[in-house]
A and B are shown apart, each in its own frame.
Chain A
């Protein structure tokens, strides 16, 4: 859709836009939320709002273009499924969002608080700086004292309000006997304010009110950048989770009732339609079908299921409707039990200390010792406590990690922004740093390197007549293999044969009559053939042995490029899959991956990664399935595609939003560049200190020099970070 300007009655262009209704608040208790991925202009906004508000039962609807989302206040009995077709009929793609998974209100409040503090710090620092400039340019005596008193009156409340994040963080660190970056910051702020006040009382020359405020402002800016980056990633990740609305169809006295998965109880009968995912663990009570377990185990071969068969949450029902009796719900399902494995694996990762933390560990004690020594030295030399205190404060302000506080967030914001544009979501704060260290990449097969949709391989082995029969039979089924067969036949320009009495046997295959003979297409055991290691569907035409159609998994776009680029970058690439030997070997050969492991259990995967880590390798794990979650969590850093199970996405540090895998290799180079910039920033900040600290210790640092050093180093560091874009 493009923006269309309707002819307007108003002649003056200013009047066209003028009477826009009052700004309405977003409906606070919105009952429904829709994701609208394709809206992009003002015409879309008014289109969607007009359509939604015209629906009976909708009280108000408001579109948020930034989040590409519509919030709807509606009558309780209106369902999102009633609104989606209406929107789609009008050309707007819409998906339901689970409101429970969108918890952005909390992070919103945090962001707003930070922004408020930033605004207060900015206001105060600008005003105090104006007063300070007149002092530096020569105001003296009573005028200077008055300016200092006004500055104090602004600085004290402003620092107390705006500096709260630092006070809190420093206090939590000090309480457990640790030092972090915020301890020297708080000490510098407090000491600067107190000595300046004292100086002001004695009508002294130097007051550091402006320095304390500029410091607060720059540091808060770093905090806010950091927060924004993470909030963007978090809201996108939440949106992915919210798109999977957990609903199930419960059979109540023969009636189908749609309920939330959290309301299911043990013993409930649940209907799972073909294409649906099992919400719970249980036993098949009725029906026959095939199950796709690839997300749980990595196996691509569908397995047969009938009454009495055990199913686990996360499996996908392929052909026939199944009625499941629930045996484990919610926290007890095998899906959730997997999280225990993840928790164990994650404990290893928390040992990583970020660059900022290790810098703080070196920096914080050094600063304190330096300023204490300056104080002691000057006190012993002159026995003037006022002068010694002043110099100690100057040392603390000059060394204060103002640029250091910006060094990391400015770079990660720039790098994350760049990767976000390429479809990568950096979820974890230190993920970029860890990604830069990677030297070994482990891929999962099904769903990661391959899309999980099959592709027919041996079309040429069949006669035209057989293919036409198979085409006709395949058209009668929604099974993924049948769909792949139809697609291949259509591409080859074939027409389906005239097969009558077409009947699908869920879980087995389809059957029909062709020229008086029974023809069948289905699984090996149904047709009396022997199942090999490769995914296959068998065709029987009544004129001899059953023949096999072999299928291979489709490669995900960009998979070959990603593997090749990683090889070129000198990284070792491994393939570890839960799938059968033949399928894994074939794929490894196709992608030129020399080391591969097949039929790996989830524990095998994470153990193998742990062993690689013991050898000193930094492993990047790329995987999507439930069987990968433990491996994802135990790897140094991990990536999962957006199509992965929620559990896998939660366990990984980075989520790949698109279909394409090729950004992975680029992400590694961007991460390395980002780390280089961060180190550069640290060096720049240190250089400023090396120049300014001797001046401060010698007692030559005036508030003017402090302000100059602080501002220039912060600005240099930010500009250096922006070069990454």
Chain B
């Protein structure tokens, strides 16, 4: 049963990482324009050089 000592912290850490990731996306306004963002990736305006 000693494997629990590793497994439980690992699973909690993984879940926590996902939660932190979600909070990050929420904080950085990534849900403001879901439709636009899904289409912006198709645009090739800045393919050759980064946007100034």
Q: Which residue numbers of A lie inside 8 Å of B, CB to CB? A: 3, 5-6, 8-10, 15-26, 41-43, 45-46, 50, 63-67, 112, 115-116, 119-120, 123, 126-127, 130-131, 143, 146, 150, 154
Contacts and interface: CB of A to CB of B under 8 A. Distances in A.
B11 A65 contact: no
B42 A17 contact: yes
A5 B39 CA distance: 12
What 7 pairs across the A-B complex have the smallest Cβ distances?
Answer: A65-B36, A21-B51, A42-B39, A42-B42, A64-B33, A66-B35, A123-B19
Contacts, number: 89
Nearest to B16: A123
Nearest to A142: B1
Contact of A66 (B36, B42, B48, B51): B36
Nearest to B36: A65
A123 B15 contact: yes
Interface in B13-52: 15-16, 18-19, 22-23, 26, 28-36, 39-48, 50-51
A561 B8 CA distance: 64
B22 to A, nearest CB: 5
A20 B8 contact: no
Nearest to A3: B42
Interface of B: 1, 4, 8, 11-12, 15-16, 18-19, 22-23, 26, 28-36, 39-48, 50-51
Contact of A19 (B4, B36, B50): B50
A42 B34 contact: no
A67 B35 CA distance: 9
B33 A66 contact: yes
A314 to B, nearest CB: 36
A713 B40 CA distance: 40
B44 to A, nearest CB: 6
Contact of A45 (B26, B43, B47): B43
Contacts of B1: 143
Given A26-B29, A115-B26, A127-B11, A64 B44 contact: no
Contact of A67 (B15, B31, B33): B33
Contacts of B11: 127, 130
With most chain A CB atoms within 10 A of its CB, the pick from B8, B12, B28, B42 is B42
28 contacts: A3-B42, A5-B42, A8-B47, A16-B44, A17-B41, A17-B42, A19-B47, A20-B40, A20-B46, A21-B46, A21-B50, A26-B32, A41-B39, A43-B43, A45-B40, A46-B43, A50-B45, A63-B36, A64-B36, A65-B35, A66-B33, A66-B36, A112-B26, A115-B31, A119-B22, A119-B23, A120-B19, A150-B8
Nearest to B48: A9
Contacts of B44: 5-6, 8, 16-17
B35 A16 contact: no
With most chain B CB atoms within 10 A of its CB, the pick from A20, A66, A126, A150 is A20
Contacts of B42: 3, 5, 17, 42
Nearest to A42: B39
A45 B46 CA distance: 13
A577 B23 CA distance: 54
A20 B37 CA distance: 11
Contacts of B29: 25-26
A126 B50 contact: no
B12 A127 contact: yes
Contacts of A127: 11-12, 15
